[in-house]
Amino acid sequence: MNSFKQFFEEKQVLGLIEFFDLDGVGKIPAKLDSGNGSFNVLHGEEIQIQGDKVFFRTVNNKTLLKPLKTTVTINVGAGNVEERPVVEFDVVIGSKLFKKTPFSIGNRLTNVYKILVGKDFIENNLDALIDVGQENIADEDISVEV
């Protein structure tokens, strides 16, 4: 096990908001939500499952047809649940590529950020610390002083 100091020295530092460059969609500001235990979610409208594919409209005026990986049931609050399709995107964050990253597709029209990043992806893939006072620092070489 790493020491406390090593743990922090080895982590990348990201801001609360970072740009995610999704293959086929483009750069989108995303909110990193360490309290969200669910899948990453990308805004989608007119969502239709067509056999093993998912058709939807999303940000940057993109209309996509993606392979359906699975569906998930999401608790959206106040006792309401929503069944969402899950698709994969190759994503670039800063200078790092994350292949086949799962996103549920849900309507985030009323949300400021059209991507919400879940804690599982933050912990298992980004392996980063979140500086809630910063935004768009993924490209910067920031270190933690312990």
Please give the mean pLDDT across all residues of the chain.
Answer: 86
Beta bridge partners of 100: none
CA distance 75 to 112: 20
- Which residues in the chain come in under a pLDDT of 50? 142-144, 146
What's the pLDDT score for residue 146?
A: 46
Q: What is the pLDDT of residues 26-62, one digit of tens each?
A: 999 999 987 777 789 999 999 999 999 999 999 999 9
Residue 124: predicted pLDDT = 87
Q: How far apart are the first and last CA of the chain?
A: 17
Q: What is the pLDDT of residue 2?
A: 65
Nearest CA to 93 among 121, 57, 59?
Answer: 121
Spatial neighbors of 33 by CB under 8 A, at least 6 apart, are: 116, 117, 118, 119
What confidence score (pLDDT) does residue 33 get? Answer: 87
Which residues does 20 contact at the CB level (< 8 Å), separation at least 6?
27, 28, 29, 30, 91, 92, 93, 115, 117
Structure tokens at 93: 């964050």
Distances (CA, A) of 45 to 8, 18, 19, 69: 40, 23, 21, 18
Global pTM exceeds 0.95: no
